[in-house]
Structure formats: C-alpha cells, structure tokens
Amino acid sequence: MTRVRAAGLDARATRRIRTYGIIILAALAIAIVLADRWNTRLQAFGFDAYQALMPRQVASMPALVVQIEERSLAAEGQWPWPRTTVARLVRAIGRHDPAAIGIDVLMQEADRLSPEHLLEQPEYQVPSLVRELSALPSHDEDLAAALRATPSVLGIAGSYAVTGMALRAPAFIRAADGAASLKITHYDAVSTSIDMLDRAAPGHGLLSVNPSGGTIRRIPLVFDVGGTLAPALSIEMLRVAVRAPALRLFGEGTAVRGIGIGDAVVPTEPDGAVRPYYSPRDPRRFVAAIDVLEGRVDPERLQRKLVLIATTALGLGDYHYTPSGFSMPGAEIHAQLLENVYDGTLLRRPGWTSFAETLLFVALGLLLVLATPAWPPRHAALLAVAFILLPLAAAIAAFRLDRLLLDALTPSLGLALLFAALLALTLAEVDRRRKALEVEVQRQREREARVAGELDAAQRIQTGMLPRADLLRDERRVDVAAVMIPAREVGGDLYDYFMLDERRLFLLIGDVAGKGLSAGIFMAISKALYKSATLRMADAGIGELMSAANTEVSRDNPEDLFVTAFAAILELDSGRLAYCNAGHDNPYVLQQGGGMPECLCDGDGPPLCAVEGFRYLGGQRQMKAGEMLCLVTDGVTEARDGAGTLYGSARLQALLVACANTSVTPQTLVDALRSSVQSFAGDAEAADDLTVLAVRWNGPSPAA
C-alpha cells in the first residue's frame, strides 16, 4: 500500500515535486552565478545595510581635514583664493610638522590676481603702477615654494580624453609575483594643476573615484594612466609621510593583492580597490582654514597628522553618498580611508565568498526540496523561514566579528523563491489529488449507493422469507410472536414456523456463523433447504429431519460455514413437543403461574455442516396449557454495552422470571426481551444478529 505523506501526497507525487524542485534550484544557482548586474546591486544593498546598522567605531584619527568653509570664506574672501593665501595656509600647517599635506583642490589655471597677470590688463598699464607690480613676486611661485618646503601631495584627476599634461607619479616596484597585466581602473590621461605647482609638489595622487550607483563603496588605490601606474591620493600621502622613494605592488596573474608602503602592506581586491568601513560624520575630523591661518588651532592636532586641505562650503564641496547613510565631502572620505588603513579596519570580501554563498544556497535549497513535499505545510514554512534567516544571521555575525562581507540577500531571496515554487508545486499536487479523490469519492458513493440498494433489496427479500404475522391468526390453540434484528443490513439469523398439517406446528430458529451479507445468503439457503427437507419428510421424526437438513445444507458449502439450529414439532391437540438442538442456545419453557423457567438441555448435537452424516436423535416434552417456549439466538446473551460487558444468561433468566410472574403473551415477551437488550447495549455497536421466537400452547380446545 502506498504510503501517504503528511502533506497528503503519495510517494510518486513527492518524487515528482522533488525532481522539479532540484531543477528550479539548479536554475536559481546558475542565475545567481551569472546574473552579475542585478546580483551586484542586491549585494550592495545588503552590504550598505550592514554599515548603516553597525557603523565603524572610531579608534584613532590619523587624518585631519582643514576645510575651507563659509566662515573662512567670509574672512579671506570668495573662492578661489589668491595662491598667496593658499601658500600661507600650507606654511601655517607645515610649521606644526604634519606627516603629509594632501591638497584636494585642482589649480589648472594660473592665478589671475598674480602681479604678472594684472600687468596684461590695459587698465593697469600706468607707468608708476607697472613699476610697483613688476617688483612683486608671483603668487604661483609663492605657492610653489610653499609646496617644495612641505611634505605636500597635489591631487590629480583621471581623464578619458587626452589632456597633454604630464603625469608625475612615484615609481611602483613590482613584487616577485607581481602581475604583468593588471585589471585595474584605467584612464587615458590626467588633469593636473599648472606645471609650476605640479613640479614643485613632492607627491601626486589621484582624486578620482567612480561611485557605484552614486554611492562611494569602493576606492581604487592604484590606477593605470596610459600604461603608467599611479597611486590614489591617500596612498601617496602615506608614501610621502614615511619618506618612501617608491611604492610596491603585489599581484598574482592579472589580480592585485596589495600595495606596499614602507614596511606596511595594504591588502586590496583583485582590481586594486578597497572597501572602507565608514563611521558616522565626526566634527573632530575638521578644523577651519581661518583658524589655522590665525593660529587658533592646537599644534598637537596637526603634528604628525595626515592633513587634507579641501573646500566644503556650500556649492564648492564635492559631497558623496556613503553606505553608512551619510553624505560626506570627498576629503572626509579620504580621511576615513586613511583611518581604515591606519587601524586595519578595511572591509573584506575574499574571492571564495561567492562560491561559499552559492554552496550555502544549494545546501539549504536541497534540504528544503527534500522537506517541503514531505512535511506538513506549517512545519515546512517554519523551516523555510529558518533557512531564509540563517544566511542573514551568518552574514551579520561575520561582518560584526571579522568585517567580512557575505551576501545574505541573494541566497535568502533565492530560498524564498525556491520555497514559493515548491509550495506552488505542492499545492498543485494536493489540488490534483483532491480532484482525483473527489472523483474516487463520487465513485465510492455511487458504488455504496448501489450496494445499499442491493442490501436493501436483500433485506426486503430476507424479511419476505420470514413467516407472515397473520399466518396463525385463526389458530386458537397456539400463539406465536417473533422478531429478528440484524446487526447489519442483512442478518445471519433465521426463524420459521408453519403448519405441517392441521394438527402439527413446525418451529425453527437458527444462527449462521458470522454476520452480514455472506451469512444472510447462507441463512436464506439453509432455511430454504431445511424447509424443503421438512415438507418432503413431513411424517419423519424430528431427529431424522435434522439429519436430512444437515446433509442438504452441507452439500454446497465451499466456505465451510456452519449453522446452529433448534427445530421442534408441536402437536396442537396434545401439547406434545418433539425437538432437536444442533448446537444452538438451549430454549426455555415459561410455566403458567410463574416460577423459574425450565431449560430444555437434551436432544442436542453438533451444528449443521460441522459433522458430515451425523445422526441426530432429538428429545420430547409434554407441554401444559398456557406454557410458553422462548427461543433466542446468541445475539441476546452476547450483546455488550459500551464497557464491553456481556448481557449474559443470568440477565436473560431474570427477565424470563419477571415475565413468567405476570400475565404475558408471546408478543409482550418478545418486546420486553428486545427492549431489555437494546437498553443494555445503549449506543454500542451490535455484536451479532438478535432473534427471539416465543410460542405459547393454549391447550387443545381453548375457550372462545
């Protein structure tokens, strides 16, 4: 028999759902691996959420931003400032021994307020004014001198168009395993400050960052500019700070593994970029340029610091979105990157993470495919929720403990889609099975209706075979009453009575082994054969009749059924009762006037069909006028109540005693006995068919 699963599916349906589930799982796994575009966006959303929920706690601040903000502009004038003002600012910072000064400003044109450029304008062509302006130093030369005297790093910008400007970048030394051809951010050229300033600065670093979807998530540390390697501003500031003549590049194949700065190595991703771990904006990272110019800044805030000069005033600053949820000026992003490098808090996403995420998705998906069609829907849904949350929990733990970026949304979304598909397949199979069951139920109902109709017809036929109640209506010498209640639609009990001639009444009660339709059919056959034998041998003794009936009934009995029977012939004129018992319950004789009923225990033998060719003898008793013979089947004595207690012979005898002490007729005795058994059994299922036959001999010539 096919095992039925908890979800109502058989083994074949379960295998079918699992097969489809594995196909869907494989398709989703391939989609996760190949669909880089949408997958990258989904990953970025998850990675940004980690930083927004768990921002970096600031441990140290090696970098300081000297910002040219609204208050500084109000004091020194609008931007751009004269190069002499910028030179003053650089020298003011340099007096406090900074580790490096990074200038996050491109100065691509000469200072128009410089004296030599003022002389080019007609309104300044006054001899006395020309002499005075010619004696003044150049503003650009003043700034160039300030740059040469300090550990300054000028920012440069990458360009995809030819600019004709020279790239002055520090040398990169390839490590022994360095890559010959690197897959890093490429520019065709650079935009720099004017050549005078560009030559004067000790260091040059790229400011260019390509935001992903408008958010700065990754920052390249090394660039390919027309075939020449160039560092980012932050890396160049570190090189200048440690006075290293060159930078080292570590790589393998086409992948960059890290950038060496002095004795330190900054690990990178294969394209030479890093992922900063952002903290919220912190005012301690900033000082106003005017406060530096006017000497109001504690020198310790600048000493041995990586100082960035940048414009942050409204309309001048280059603000960018960050994963932490805060918009920051570019200089603060550089400062946070330097903090990450200094404290070793850069985020990590090694190359094995994609494989591990896909493997986790496949493993959890396989378990989900196995469980969903076999488990109850509620349990399968709880398992799916647990599996969807598991990658999220693991990713959050990895980020918090080791700054490891694991993509949890992609496998979780894949598992949700997989479970939805499995659930849809399961519901479709359940619906298909429900429809099939509805068809089968309808067939069963039709079949049951046919069987019920056939059983009803069989019951009518069986009832029609019983003697009619008015058969002895005109006979004053005897009163007869009977009842048969089958345990099922058709019973295996039988009774009969009919006149052999004008002076003899034949009585029969029997019980076929078992109950139901088979017993009912065998009962009908047995009754018909017994009656046929009786009518054929009307003058024979009761024992001979029982022996003949045994032979007739046993002849065609392939199922080896047997019948208990009690037969009697009552001579209505004399009251002489001849009887024979073939394994049936002994009958009782109720005497007129009361007293203990007499049990007829003789004249017995084995049930019909039990012993082939058995010779039955029978017994005799002289009935007295008014005495009543009570015949029952074992459905009376073996009736049980809800607790399983038998009705038993003692209750039967007690009822017969009670009836014998009253003026009782055969019909009232039958009714009392039936009512007593049914009341005792209550709602318990009937154990067997119940039959009662009561016969009272009134005497040879009762009064009219």
326/356 same-domain check: no
Alpha-carbon gap, residue 14 to 562, rounded angstroms: 49
Domain range spanning residue 354?
11-47+349-435
263/376 same-domain check: no
> Does residue 478 sit in helix, strand or coil?
strand
235/323 same-domain check: yes
Alpha-carbon gap, residue 234 to 334, rounded angstroms: 6
DSSP 222-247: EEEETTEEEEBHHHHHHHHHHT-SEE
4: confidence class by pLDDT, cuts 50, 70, 90: very low
Residue 290 forms part of a structural domain:
yes
| pLDDT > 50? residue 205 | yes
Out of 360-369, 607-616, 694-703, pick the least confident: 694-703
307/398 same-domain check: no
Q: Which residue has the higher pLDDT, 320 or 305?
A: 305
Residue range 258-278: average pLDDT? 93
Residue 338 forms part of a structural domain:
yes
Residue 368 forms part of a structural domain:
yes
340-382 pLDDT per residue, tens: 999 999 999 998 998 999 999 999 999 999 998 888 889 999 9
CB 553 within 8 A of CB 563: yes
Residue 444 forms part of a structural domain:
no
Q: What is the mean pLDDT of the chain?
A: 86
Tokens standing for 450? 């046919």
| pLDDT > 90? residue 8 | no
Residue whose tokens read 């009977």: 482
Q: What is the pTM of this model?
A: 0.65
- Output the pLDDT for position 129: 55
Q: Which residue has the higher pLDDT, 496 or 462?
A: 496
Asked if the bond preceding 202 is cis, omega within 30° of 0, the reply is no
- Output the pLDDT for position 490: 62
Domain count for the chain: 3
| pLDDT > 80? residue 107 | yes
47-88 pLDDT per residue, tens: 999 999 999 999 999 999 999 999 999 999 999 999 999 999
520/418 same-domain check: no
180/315 same-domain check: yes
Residue range 586-610: average pLDDT? 88
494: nearest Cα among 581, 400, 598, 565: 565
Alpha-carbon gap, residue 260 to 230, rounded angstroms: 13
158-197 pLDDT per residue, tens: 999 988 899 988 888 876 444 457 889 999 999 999 999 9
514-564 pLDDT per residue, tens: 666 666 677 777 777 777 888 888 888 888 988 888 888 888 777 778 888
- Output the pLDDT for position 457: 63
Residue range 270-290: average pLDDT? 94
CATH number at residue 604: 3.60.40.10
91/206 same-domain check: yes
491: confidence class by pLDDT, cuts 50, 70, 90: low
> Does residue 60 sit in helix, strand or coil?
coil
116: confidence class by pLDDT, cuts 50, 70, 90: low
145/178 same-domain check: yes
Residue range 641-660: average pLDDT? 88
Residue range 652-660: average pLDDT? 87
478/616 same-domain check: yes
Residue 297 forms part of a structural domain:
yes
- Output the pLDDT for position 351: 87
- Output the pLDDT for position 72: 94
Of 343, 362, 384, the residue that ends a domain is 343
Residue whose tokens read 């082994």: 513
- Output the pLDDT for position 148: 95
- Chain CA centroid to CA 120, Å: 81
Residue range 271-291: average pLDDT? 94
Residue 457 forms part of a structural domain:
no
Residue range 640-666: average pLDDT? 87
Alpha-carbon gap, residue 254 to 660, rounded angstroms: 116
245/200 same-domain check: yes
Residue 2 forms part of a structural domain:
no
Residue 156 forms part of a structural domain:
yes
Of 310, 327, 343, the residue that ends a domain is 343
Helices (H) and strands (E) in the chain, counts: 19, 29
% the chain with pLDDT above 70: 90
Of 311, 343, 375, the residue that ends a domain is 343
529/569 same-domain check: yes
371/333 same-domain check: no
2: confidence class by pLDDT, cuts 50, 70, 90: very low
- Chain CA centroid to CA 610, Å: 63
User: Which residues have C-beta within 8 Å of that of residue 317, sequence separation ≥ 6?
Assistant: 310, 311, 329, 330
